[in-house]
């Protein structure tokens, strides 16, 4: 199997003799605290030992490796940014590094952690009652309960304000009807956080998987994120007790706040996917001999590799500064949009160019770029498409909404 070599930063200096790490040309690692470096190293080891050996077959078999969940939990990677409730309480840079290392393995593993941490545990932590936090968070941190986040509907995910799923009061309880589409973890989740319209605006409902009238159906035939579970959710007169409604938020800003957390993680995650592709191409072009010399001796190959390193470096610095802003409490959603747009585009372009430089071998899943490329087609679409983030920046610059 020809999986990308794991990134072991201190031991992979560039061949140019300067001692620079080709995947970290601006020494981002050196600027990390001891704790941040430790987190990065332990997740990198986990990806090397547990993810890379199985991920190609998971992708080919369209299988999410559920067996990794207890290990992710044991490393403290579920809800890692939250304080209390058996969560690790790590800073934003650590969360970013976790996403980066996991996505070096595969976007599906980062996706699982993003949804569990940023889209399910975060809203329970930020908007839930004390009883909801006590009931769900410790078990979610231990990986005993899996969550999913149901916002997108079949009629158009970019415009969640046009929500058809609705909740009506019946006595003290709520009755929910509607459907959700493209929901990560949907059919393996023990609890679904479903966003639904009420007369007062959008609200979040925690629905246990065995609630009568609730069902999930896995979406098959995906060519992207094949190692991740994606499902449609159906709500047919689902009765939800009032104590299962998140009390702390009403309106679109509830789900959008969760998206800000998850998009932040994606800004880092996709750097890992791009680094995995570049690492493999540095090795491949050094050994593949054409026209009597290694491919890496050609100017156009070097220009393409240099361009990848340039774009990865810019993305790393963007993510690092975004993380510093987040840790200082100053991060704005528009800043997340710019980084999500830039970094996803960077990773998608690099994966495609790496696929091309592998020639015919590039279409085989034995090499990582095609898998990352296909995964990144989802990553550039979910959590706000590229266009949505471009228009968000347009609105920020001009003051006019073009949505
Ligand atoms: P707008 O009027 O801008 O805002 C409504 C209210 O929300 C507040 N707000 C935010 N709050 C936190 N974070 C953000 N990013 C926020 N953006 C806006 C805003 O301040 C306002 O608050 P208030 O108090 O004034 O009411 O809303 P809009 O209707 O103009 O928004 C338009 C748009 C297009 C930006 C928004 O609808 C959008 O982001 N659409 C994309 C939807 C999307 O990203 N869906 C993702 C679904 S989940 C998913 O893909 C998971 S993949 C998981 C994985 O596997 O990793
Ligand atoms: P649409 O909104 O129909 O967009 C179609 C096209 O129109 C896009 O190119 C878009 O950029 C463009 N467009 C939209 N508006 C405009 C405009 N104003 N001007 C110009 N162009 C525009 N959702 C969840 O809620 N939870 C999940 O866990 C989840 N996981 C997912 C996992 C996967 C693998 C995928 C693929 C999706 C997931 N999603 C999830 C859904 C995801 O968020 C949506 O696919 C995304 O928001 C886009 O919505 P849509 O697919 O309905 O496309």
- The helix/strand/coil state of 386 is helix
Distance of CA 392 to the CA centre of its chain: 20
Q: Report the relative pairing of strands 147-150 and 191-198 from DSSP bridges.
A: parallel
Q: How confident is the model at residue 34 (pLDDT cuts 50, 70, 90)?
A: very high
Q: Which long-range contacts (CB under 8 A, 24 or more apart) does 61-67 make?
A: 62/220, 62/222, 62/226, 62/227, 63/226, 63/227, 64/108, 64/112, 64/188, 64/227, 64/228, 64/229, 65/109, 65/227, 66/188
Question: Looking at ligand 1, which atom is closest to the CA of residue 151?
Answer: 47
256 alpha carbon to ligand 1 midpoint, in Å?
Answer: 4
Name the closest ligand to CA 183.
Answer: 2
Binding site membership of 378 for ligand 2 (Cβ less than 6 Å): yes
Give the model's pLDDT for residue 12: 67
384 alpha carbon to ligand 2 midpoint, in Å?
Answer: 6
Q: What value does the mean pLDDT of the chain take?
A: 96
Q: How confident is the model at residue 17 (pLDDT cuts 50, 70, 90)?
A: confident
380 alpha carbon to ligand 2 midpoint, in Å?
Answer: 9
As given in the structure block, the two tokens for residue 340 are: 């999500």
Binding site membership of 183 for ligand 2 (Cβ less than 6 Å): yes
Give the model's pLDDT for residue 4: 41
Q: Whose CA is nearest to atom 19 of ligand 1?
A: 253
As beta bridge partners, residue 203 has 196
| Euclidean distance between CA atoms 62 and 64, whole angstroms | 7
Give the model's pLDDT for residue 13: 75
379 alpha carbon to ligand 2 midpoint, in Å?
Answer: 10
* Residue 133 confidence (pLDDT) above 60: yes
Q: Work out the average pLDDT over 236-264.
A: 98
Lowest mean pLDDT among 15-29, 201-215, 227-241, 271-285: 15-29
How many CA atoms, within 13 angstroms, populate the side-chain half-sphere of residue 91?
18
Binding site membership of 259 for ligand 1 (Cβ less than 6 Å): yes
User: In sequence order, which residues have a C-beta less than 8 Å from that of residue 284 and are 6 or more positions away?
Assistant: 295, 357, 358, 367
Give the model's pLDDT for residue 16: 82
Q: Whose CA is nearest to atom 34 of ligand 2?
A: 378
Predicted structure pTM score = 0.97
Contact present, 251 and 195 (Cβ < 8 Å): no
Q: Report the relative pairing of strands 173-184 and 214-218 from DSSP bridges.
A: unpaired
How many CA atoms, within 13 angstroms, populate the side-chain half-sphere of residue 260?
20
* Per-residue model confidence as pLDDT tens digits over 137-169: 999 999 999 999 999 999 999 999 999 999 999
220 alpha carbon to ligand 1 midpoint, in Å?
Answer: 28
User: In sequence order, which residues have a C-beta less than 8 Å from that of residue 92 and are 6 or more positions away?
Assistant: 81, 264, 323, 326, 327
As given in the structure block, the two tokens for residue 316 are: 């790393």
* Residue 7 confidence (pLDDT) above 70: no
Binding site membership of 375 for ligand 1 (Cβ less than 6 Å): no
Name the closest ligand to CA 107.
Answer: 1
Q: Work out the average pLDDT over 101-110.
A: 98
Q: What Rg, from alpha-carbon coordinates, does the chain have? A: 21
| Euclidean distance between CA atoms 198 and 379, whole angstroms | 30
Q: Whose CA is nearest to atom 47 of ligand 1?
A: 383
As beta bridge partners, residue 205 has 194, 245
182 alpha carbon to ligand 2 midpoint, in Å?
Answer: 9
Give the model's pLDDT for residue 14: 80
**Catalytic machinery residues:** 383
Binding site membership of 376 for ligand 2 (Cβ less than 6 Å): no
* Residue 75 confidence (pLDDT) above 90: yes
N residues, the chain? 403
Best substitution site from 374, 385, 392 to test ligand 2's pocket, by max atoms within 8 Å of Cβ?
385
Question: Looking at ligand 2, which atom is closest to the CA of residue 225?
Answer: 34
Binding site membership of 151 for ligand 1 (Cβ less than 6 Å): yes
Question: Which residue's entry shows tokens 């680094």?
Answer: 275
* Residue 338 confidence (pLDDT) above 70: yes
Give Cα separations from 62 to 65, 72, 110, 226, 349 (angstroms).
10, 20, 16, 5, 24
Q: Whose CA is nearest to atom 27 of ligand 2?
A: 183
| Euclidean distance between CA atoms 7 and 41, whole angstroms | 9
Contact present, 153 and 108 (Cβ < 8 Å): no
Give the model's pLDDT for residue 15: 82
Q: Whose CA is nearest to atom 26 of ligand 1?
A: 253
Binding site membership of 259 for ligand 2 (Cβ less than 6 Å): no
* Residue 223 confidence (pLDDT) above 80: yes
Name the closest ligand to CA 152.
Answer: 2
* Residue 6 confidence (pLDDT) above 80: no
* Residue 349 confidence (pLDDT) above 70: yes
- Per-residue buried b or exposed e for 336-370, using 16+ beta carbons within 10 Å of the residue's own CB: bbbbbbbbbbbbbbbbbbbbebbeeebeebebbbb
Contact present, 213 and 97 (Cβ < 8 Å): no
Q: Work out the average pLDDT over 269-286.
A: 98
Distance of CA 283 to the CA centre of its chain: 27
């Amino acid at each position: 199997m020809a999986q990308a070599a794991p990134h072991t930063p201190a031991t992979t200096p560039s061949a140019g003799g300067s001692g620079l790490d080709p995947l970290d040309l601006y020494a981002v690692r050196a600027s990390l605290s001891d704790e941040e470096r430790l987190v990065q190293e332990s997740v990198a080891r986990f990806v090397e030992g547990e993810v890379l050996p199985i991920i190609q077959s998971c992708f080919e078999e369209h299988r999410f490796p559920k067996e990794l969940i207890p290990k992710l939990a044991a490393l403290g990677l579920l809800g890692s940014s939250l304080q209390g409730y058996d969560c690790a309480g790590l800073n934003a840079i650590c969360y970013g590094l976790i996403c980066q290392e996991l996505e070096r393995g595969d976007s599906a593993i980062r996706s699982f952690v993003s949804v569990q941490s940023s889209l399910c545990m975060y809203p329970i932590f930020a908007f839930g009652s004390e009883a909801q936090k006590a009931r769900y968070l410790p078990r979610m941190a231990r990986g005993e309960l899996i969550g999913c986040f149901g916002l997108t509907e079949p009629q158009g995910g970019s415009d969640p304000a046009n929500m058809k799923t609705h909740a009506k009061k019946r006595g003290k309880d709520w009755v929910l009807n509607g459907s959700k589409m493209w929901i990560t973890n949907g059919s393996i989740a023990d609890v679904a956080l479903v966003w639904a319209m009420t007369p007062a605006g959008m609200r979040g409902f925690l629905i246990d998987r065995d609630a009568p009238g609730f069902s999930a159906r896995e979406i098959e035939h995906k060519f992207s994120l094949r190692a991740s579970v994606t499902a449609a959710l159906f709500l047919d007169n689902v009765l939800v007790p009032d104590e299962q409604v998140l009390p702390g938020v009403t309106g679109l800003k509830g789900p959008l706040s969760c998206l800000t957390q998850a998009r932040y993680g994606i800004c880092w995650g996709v750097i890992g996917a791009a680094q995995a592709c570049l690492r493999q191409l540095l090795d491949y072009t050094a050994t593949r001999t054409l026209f009597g010399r290694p491919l890496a001796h050609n100017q156009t190959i070097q220009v393409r590799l240099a361009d990848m390193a340039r774009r990865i470096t810019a993305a790393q610095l963007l993510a690092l500064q975004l993380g510093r802003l987040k840790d200082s409490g100053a991060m704005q959603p528009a800043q997340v949009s710019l980084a999500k747009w830039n970094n996803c585009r960077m990773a998608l372009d690099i994966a495609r160019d790496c696929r091309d430089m592998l020639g015919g071998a590039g279409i085989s899943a034995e090499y990582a770029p095609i898998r990352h490329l296909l995964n990144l087609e989802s990553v550039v679409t979910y959590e706000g498409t590229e266009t949505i983030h471009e228009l968000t920046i347009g609105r920020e610059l001009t003051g006019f909404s073009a949505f």
